[in-house]
Chain A
């Protein structure tokens, strides 16, 4: 659903409110998920509402899908209903006076796009809600409601899907129910999405492009792996700072129930989660799970060792600690070690070291 012609996609918004100023400028990744990440009160939802045209006081310029929806310098402001977008609110916000089918058809009936009915059927199928159509919305579980809300938004064939912490109102188990559906959405529809969350897990799992917001400003923006491996990330992410690796399952060891993930720069063994050889996966390696050795470690319980070059050394959130950027091939890892250890091992930027990776999380 990339821009066909005309204006390039770009979102520039500013909004002055008492005690809060928003000023953002970013380009969402076409056909992929852009995650707006930040603590609560950082302005994530305000950005989303601004893009949707739900806040008239939010000024600036919003160009998406090859057309400008808002350009206050030109006096252009399309109201929400004229913007070809879908919006999934934090609470499912289904219409209580309609059943599931009525909710899904609401957008469809007002949608000028051709093949909208097929879009709805596809969304019902994609989100697995075919059995719920005749239900009243108060008979649905929280997870089911949110899936209906997502399908309702998709039925309008939006060119941009906005999701405002769609999992925040759900308990942990329901979140795990919905995340795979969101991944299907991302992989099958190639729809441009802006996804607001404050959960590092959701961000690491879904983001293509990451926009980190704090106090109404963009602190970092770029491909998710790059932003996560940037020196600024500890400030933004605190304890959860870590690198993201893209790879695929290269082999499986049935004797020890392990799977090997190959990425550009090496390979890592992790628990076999049953994925077939060749499946693309995303790995999250937290900085606190990476330690360094001068030579390839022998006689250690840690199985994963990667030869890497220390690219740079940065201050961490605590004065005792340093955050190191390690380059393994074309991939970047982060390691959190003490300054004392760095001094004793005489490690500095440019040195070669072995990274021992204690644990790896499969995020996709």
Chain B
């Protein structure tokens, strides 16, 4: 690592990126799993609008999402007033705000693989579990989730990687505060702005290798996934 021209601030950014991505992935799996289950099985009229809303971050420019989040989290926004009233201060330019933004921004990357996994297994495994005396929640954890494992892995990997790679939302709502909201992608931007190409090169190369490794691992994992046998 000695050959890499990385400053302490660079390492800090890498650490923060990993921390943010890990937390985002954790929150997303908890949030996206029930949401994906509902989307895969509901016949409610709300399915279509909710599905569109969840997919929105996929097509929306990150700056747009970041802009609205900035407004909402500001002292006059609905979220900002709530957090102020609770005595937490405002979320903008904080790690918590960054986490919230990342969760929203990567939501489709977690929901879609899970929704696909739940939909493709159909209702039969849950029905079989019910005829074997399993309560619905029990069946969900012992049958549906294990069978959706490839979807879970894909969702986790994509959420993590997508969060590491996000830039627009971070810049809009995080500022670029070292140690708090400065992550790898924004740090590269700072280096380039300051004409410091060597550290920018090093960080960019790290990102490139990381992204390639993630996609490779994902493809390898998906090849040997277990499927529901009819």
Contact = CB atoms under 8 A, between A and B. Distances in A.
A107 B133 contact: yes
Contact of A93 (B124, B135, B149): B124
B52 interface: no
Contact of B127 (A80, A85, A107, A145): A80
Interface string B44-83: 0000000000000000000000000000000000000000
Given A107-B132, A110-B132, A156-B132, A96 B138 contact: no
A363 B208 CA distance: 70
A54 B133 contact: no
A153 interface: yes
Contacts of B132: 81, 106-107, 110, 152-153, 156
Contacts of B142: 106
Contacts of A97: 143, 146-147, 149, 226
Contacts of B130: 54, 79-81
A111 interface: yes
Contact of B230 (A79, A86, A93): A93
A208 to B, nearest CB: 23
Contact of B147 (A96, A107, A138): A96
B128 interface: yes
A89 B142 CA distance: 20
A153 B129 CA distance: 10
Task: Name the interface size band of chain A.
Answer: 20 to 34
B183 to A, nearest CB: 37
Given A110-B133, A137-B229, A95 B127 contact: no
A91 B127 CA distance: 13
B168 interface: no
Contacts of B41: none
Contact of B226 (A54, A96, A106, A111): A96
Interface in B78-98: none
Interface centre among B132, B143, B229 (most CB of A within 10 A): B132
Given A96-B147, A96-B226, A97-B226, A80 B131 contact: yes
A263 interface: no
Contacts of A156: 132-133
Interface in A80-134: 80-81, 85-87, 89, 91-97, 106-107, 110-111
A204 B6 CA distance: 81
B147 A86 contact: no
B146 A81 contact: no
A52 to B, nearest CB: 6
A52 B129 CA distance: 12
Interface string B161-202: 000000000000000000000000000000000000000000
Contacts of A92: 229
B133 A111 contact: yes
Given A91-B230, A95-B143, A96-B147, A110 B131 contact: no
Interface centre among B130, B131, B136, B146 (most CB of A within 10 A): B131
A81 B136 CA distance: 8
B228 interface: yes
Contact of B229 (A79, A87, A96, A106): A96
A137 B228 CA distance: 10
A92 B131 CA distance: 13
A54 B134 CA distance: 13
Given A87-B131, A95-B128, 14 more contacts: A81-B132, A81-B135, A87-B127, A92-B229, A93-B128, A93-B230, A96-B229, A97-B149, A97-B226, A107-B133, A111-B133, A152-B132, A153-B132, A156-B133
30 contacts: A52-B131, A54-B131, A79-B136, A80-B130, A81-B130, A81-B131, A81-B132, A81-B136, A87-B128, A87-B131, A89-B124, A89-B127, A89-B128, A92-B229, A93-B124, A93-B230, A94-B229, A95-B125, A95-B128, A95-B147, A96-B229, A97-B143, A97-B149, A97-B226, A106-B132, A110-B138, A138-B229, A145-B229, A152-B132, A156-B133
Interface of A: 52, 54, 79-81, 85-87, 89, 91-97, 106-107, 110-111, 137-138, 145, 152-153, 156
